Structure 1
């Protein structure tokens, strides 16, 4: 008998993943792929959209013809800040411009001269000035520097919706992609910002539908429910929102550590914007206050420095366990010792000077300092909200030292870690399902662990 499943394509910048989930959202199949990047007309590396499109179709066509599985639905989770511009016939007009591509400064200056001041604009849109990471700015750039291409655009689709469009042929927009630091959305009026209408950008944007929308379609002779796609950060947050009854903050750790507060119903303040706060958006259009820290990147750089200094194996740091005696010694005479390479912090010295004799001591000190930065980022995301639950997922969720130190600093919060390689994919599956999640969902599907602070002497 065939197993009824929901299929999800989870498209990251590096890894392209395909999952099948059963009715209880357990993973029953996965497939990974990677593609070499191509270059756009300026020589900047970018996604090979043609190879991606071919892989998507081949994988899905193969799976719906597999006798083992009966695919009932499919949805799509992808990275954000990326637009695909299509013409009247649905053909792509430009490369998928990489959000790391630099916008010409004169374009940025002209925009903020028209629609600034910059800080006020960021408060309204939840989008600080970040070049192509503000995907709406890409449309302004195309209009001002490539007007012939801009005129040919029938629709500019956010990447999750373009992937859906490949399967449905129906162009749509949805909240999680629109509201993710795009500079398109005015959170104060719950509509596109006035600049979008003044520049007639709205005419290039497909009709907005709910993130939970699905289209019942005939695909290669089979009736399948096809979702409209969802931004990966909002998708990863969804299982928590659906299964936790009390307010919480989710800290998603990796190269970036992003503290997400989905319970803030106020506009960002100017101070919060200056503290690197931006907005993401829930599937219901409500803002998610987010505070970012380049944690994983800085960790990688500093560990490499310590490995070289103390002449230990490259992965030795993974073996270091929390040592209470080292912690107590450091705390008794604590001072900031690390000079950060990719993070700006007021207490960071100009040069790193370490007098420790062992890697373990230096590593403890590094983690104490990084946790202090993480703590500040979490506090910024919480603001004045009364929140007592904290969930940590991603790469640092299994770093014992990081979790011990964080639970020590946040003694009044209930700290939990979760492990799920399917996070954003699972959220996409949940978004188009009619199932309700119970309170045990995270324990069953996410290896939920509780952590208690160590006893203070």
Structure 2
């Protein structure tokens, strides 16, 4: 069976998939690793353990009977840089993007290179400290100059994984253009500060996300992509399946509303509201708005479980009830953070849970409208955990009555997206028509 192998590396789960020519997952392996610590004692990914797992996993593919691996590609989490010396050796820990950023270093950076609001606008990046990978590199230069002087190449994590099998250090626009503060979206090039600091010369050449180069797995030669940032990869199955304008709300810890059909520059107000831009593998901007709703939901269902003496996952049994919705709308129409509400106001778990989701939906409406307003979008797709939550989905349909709202899913969307990006190089079959599974939700008689 002809296949493509995809390494899909998340913060928690690392997975290896074989995907057939019809984009079905036909084989998979997974692993989770203990974190290690950097020189400051902060938790981080063990880059040496990850490197060994990548090599061992790909070696395993050469011994699998019944599969011919025609190509490889990679999707990983973003905002993470691997620094290599002239011999290709890793120089530093893989610093965690949640690592706190020194205030004095941040203040010095902005005083030298311009107002924070201007830099954020030009690079389509909210000021996020270590989540801006460009500022991670800036920190290395200024706090560890001896180590910095040994850096030959800085690779974002997807491109490091690609480097392990191709031996070619490359840069990719989906990683460079994702809230890194490195890329000037107006000039379509590295920002001037990156050149002035000398960082640009330590990034390898940009390589198209839909192109391939030769790779070696054991004694086997195949083709390899350069790897993709996972958020951009997850959007590819939708872009491949739909031409009419849509937004995708990708739900998990963060609920990220992505609009590939909004090319308006980010305003200072949007940046202040946690909006940013991604770049697709062909360099198109995707305006996005982030909301920490999945995390809030996770915290609040623990509070509900403790108060009502139910299992933590009891919310999974709650179905949308229009009567509860109407009752809550009548007695407590004001918007609020649910964490500020007293649970004694709600007679049952079900009523309290509906109020929680209504409060989350108030925030979701505000967030999503930031990137929907003024565009021709008529469809909203929701993937991830909230796509399986009927309360969330019915409320979303009621919140956007002028839209077609769908719970949508692609099995292993980031892996399939990485495979689709280089489809023409390994697959002679046409794209399947059923890549995305959809369930329509109508607002019916419900209205917010």
Q: Under TM normalisation by the shorter chain, which class is it?
A: over 0.9
CA–CA distance in 1 between the matches of 2:344 and 2:362?
18
8 Å contact 2:322–2:446 — kept in the other structure? no
Secondary structure at the counterpart of residue 448 of structure 1: strand
* Separation of aligned partners in 2, 1:440 and 1:374: 32
Which residue is 2:128 aligned to? 130
Q: Structure 1 unaligned runs (5+)?
A: 342-349
Deviations 1:113-151 (A, max 9, x none): 111211111111011111110000011111111110111
Conserved 8 A contact 1:84-1:94: yes
Out of 289, 296, 305, which is 2:287 matched to? 289
Q: Deviations over 1:420-457 (max 9, x none)?
A: 3411011001111116998963xx23322122222249
TM-fit CA distance, 1:388? 0.5
Judge which range, 430-439 or 73-82, deviates more: 430-439
The CA deviation at 1:218 is 4.4
Partner of 1:449: 439
Equivalent residue number for residue 346 of structure 1: none
Q: 1:406 aligns with which of 386, 396, 401?
A: 396
Residues in 2 aligned to 1:338 and 1:299: alpha-carbon distance in whole angstroms: 14
Q: 2:209 aligns with which of 204, 208, 211?
A: 211
Q: CA deviation at 1:6?
A: 0.4
Give the whole-Å Cα distance in 2 for the aligned partners of 1:193 and 1:352. 48
What is aligned with 2:89? 91
Q: 1:375: how far off?
A: 1.2
- For 1:455 and 1:437, how far apart are their aligned partners in 2? 44
Q: Which residue of 2 aligns with 1:383?
A: 373
**Cα distance per residue 1:130-173 (max 9 Å; x no partner):** 11100000111111111101110000000000000011110000
**Superimposed CA distance per residue, residues 193-244 of structure 1 (whole angstroms, 9 cap, x where no aligned partner):** 0000111110110001111121124443322011100000000001111110
For 1:330-363, what per-residue CA distance to the aligned partner results, in whole angstroms no more than 9, with x for missing partners?
Answer: 112333475456xxxxxxxx55464121111111
Q: Residues 290-320 of structure 1, C-alpha deviation per residue, up to 9 Å, x if partnerless?
A: 1000011101111111222222222211111
Alignment of 1:416-431 (within 5 A): 416-431=406-421
Matched, 1:240 2:230: no
Matched-pair contact (CA < 8 Å) for 1:339–1:352: no
1:59-95 Cα offsets, whole Å, 9 max, x none, are 1111122221000000000000000000000001100
SS in 1 for 2:137: helix
Give the secondary structure class of the aligned counterpart of 1:242: helix
The Cα of 1:411 is off from its aligned counterpart by 1.1
Residue 265 of structure 1 deviates from its aligned partner by: 1.6
Q: What corresponds to 1:160 in structure 2?
A: 158
The answer on whether the counterparts of 1:10 and 1:76 sit within 8 Å (CA) in structure 2 is yes
Q: Which residue of 1 aligns with 2:9?
A: 11
Query: Whole-Å Cα distance in 1 between the matches of residues 168 and 72 of structure 2?
Result: 15
For the residues of structure 2 that align with 1:411 and 1:245, how far apart are their CA atoms?
Answer: 21
Aligned in 2, Cα 1:382/1:167: closer, same or farther, shift over 3 Å?
A: same
Determine if the alignment matches structure 1 residue 360 to structure 2 residue 360. no
Residues 384 and 409 in structure 2, CA contact (< 8 A), matched pair in contact too: yes
Partner of 1:50: 48
Q: Alignment partner of 2:409: what SS?
A: coil
- Structure 2 counterpart of 1:303: 301
* 1:168-199 C-alpha deviation (Å, 9 max, x unpaired): 11000010000000000000100000000111
Secondary structure of 1:387's match?
Answer: coil
Paired residues in the alignment total: 445
Q: Which residue of 2 aligns with 1:272?
A: 270
- Between 39-48 and 353-362, the greater mean CA deviation after superposition: 353-362
Asked if structure 2 preserves the Cα contact closer than 8 Å seen for 1:215 and 1:225, the reply is yes
Q: TM-score, normalised by structure 1?
A: 0.94
The 1:379–1:339 alpha-carbon spacing in structure 2 relative to 1, beyond 3 Å, is closer
Name the Cα RMSD after superposition.
Answer: 1.7
Contact 1:338/1:353 (8 A) holds in 2: no
Picking from 107, 110, 118, the partner of 1:120 is 118
Of 213, 225, 228 in structure 2, the residue corresponding to residue 227 of structure 1 is 225
CA distance in 2, matches of 1:168, 1:413: 45
Instruction: Answer whether contact 1:415 1:452 (CA < 8 A) is retained.
Output: yes
Contact 1:137 / 1:182 at 8 angstroms: preserved in 2? yes
Residues in 1 aligned to 2:51 and 2:211: alpha-carbon distance in whole angstroms? 22
Q: Deviations over 1:95-114 (max 9, x none)?
A: 00010111211110000111
Mark the CA change 1:183 to 1:300 in structure 2 (over 3 Å): closer, same or farther. Answer: same
2:109 is matched with which residue? 111
Which of 73, 76, 89 aligns to 1:75? It is: 73
Matched position secondary structure for 2:312: coil
